[in-house]
């Protein structure tokens, strides 16, 4: 599959996740808290397709989300771009073969994404600052995201390495030496 085909496949997966998140996960909640599938997806893209593709995909998908349901343009755009970019950076220092590492990455990315979104809401959109309630929600969301990561983890290496070969084919081995 060519790079363009993979990008189109990313977009198709994004649409599936959008409908899943908007319909299924609005009622399949833990204590009224939804997971965030986009964080896991953008982390996947960043890890296997590189920081540039991760950042661009994050920005595009985020802006689509902003247009569809967001309160301000670029809120999701910027934060998903950060997740995609950081995913690419993490690839240089950590192994993708360990389930625990991926789970820790999801925990970190969920924290960064949600704290960023909440800070933007508080500082720019004058949302009320409720630290205890925010931390409680964040903790449940992290647990939910980690559980989903355990379920979808086998897809990471199975789908990820062919993608990595296409996007980082020439540099894939040089980083280890």
Partner 1 sequence: MYKNKKSGIIGIIVTIVILIVIVFLSNVEVGQLSDAQNVFTSLIMPVQNGLTYLKNKLSGNDSFFTDINRLQEENEELKQKNKELEESLRELEITKNENERLTELLGLTEKYSNYTTIPAYVINRDMNNYSNMIVIDVGAKDGIKENMVVIADKGLVGHVVSVSDTTAKVQTIIDPSSTVSSTLTTTRDNIIVRGSIEGESRLKGTYIQPDVLIAEGDSIETSGIGGIYPKGIHIGVVKQVIPTKNTTDRYVWIETAVDFTKLETVLVIE
Q: Which residues bind partner 1 (CB under 8 A)?
A: 18, 21-22, 25-26, 28-34, 36, 65, 68-71, 97, 99, 114, 117-118, 121, 125-128, 130, 133-134, 137, 141, 144, 147-148, 150-151, 153-154, 157
Give the residue with the Cβ less far from partner 1, 51 or 63.
63
The structure tokens listed for 60 are 């595009």
Q: Please, are residues 39 and 81 in contact by the beta-carbon 8 Å criterion?
A: no
* Unique residue bearing structure tokens 């993490």: 90
Q: Could you tell me the smallest distance in angstroms from the CB atom of residue 43 to partner 1?
A: 17
45 closest CA partner among 15, 10, 19: 10
152 closest CA partner among 2, 16, 52, 32: 16
| Cβ count within 10 A of residue 66 | 18
Q: Could you tell me the smallest distance in angstroms from the CB atom of residue 6 to partner 1?
A: 21
**Euclidean distance between CA atoms 107 and 141, whole angstroms:** 9
Give the residue with the Cβ less far from partner 1, 8 or 69.
69
Give the residue with the Cβ less far from partner 1, 56 or 143.
143
Give the residue with the Cβ less far from partner 1, 44 or 51.
44
């Amino acid at each position: 599959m060519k790079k363009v085909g993979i990008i189109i496949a990313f977009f198709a997966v994004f649409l599936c996740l959008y409908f899943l998140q908007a319909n299924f996960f609005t009622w399949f909640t833990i204590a009224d808290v939804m997971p965030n599938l986009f964080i896991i997806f953008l982390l996947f893209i960043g890890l296997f397709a590189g920081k540039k593709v991760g950042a661009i995909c994050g920005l595009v998908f985020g802006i689509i989300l902003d247009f569809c349901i967001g309160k301000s343009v670029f809120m999701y755009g910027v934060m998903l771009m950060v997740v995609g970019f950081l995913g690419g950076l993490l690839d240089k220092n950590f192994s993708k073969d360990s389930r625990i590492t991926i789970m820790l990455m999801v925990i970190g990315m969920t924290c960064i994404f949600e704290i960023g979104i909440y800070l933007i809401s508080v500082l720019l959109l004058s949302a009320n600052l409720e630290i205890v309630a925010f931390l409680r929600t964040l903790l449940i969301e992290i647990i939910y995201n980690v559980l989903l990561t355990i379920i979808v983890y086998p897809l990471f290496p199975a789908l990820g390495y062919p993608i990595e070969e296409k996007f980082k084919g020439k540099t894939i081995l040089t980083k280890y030496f």
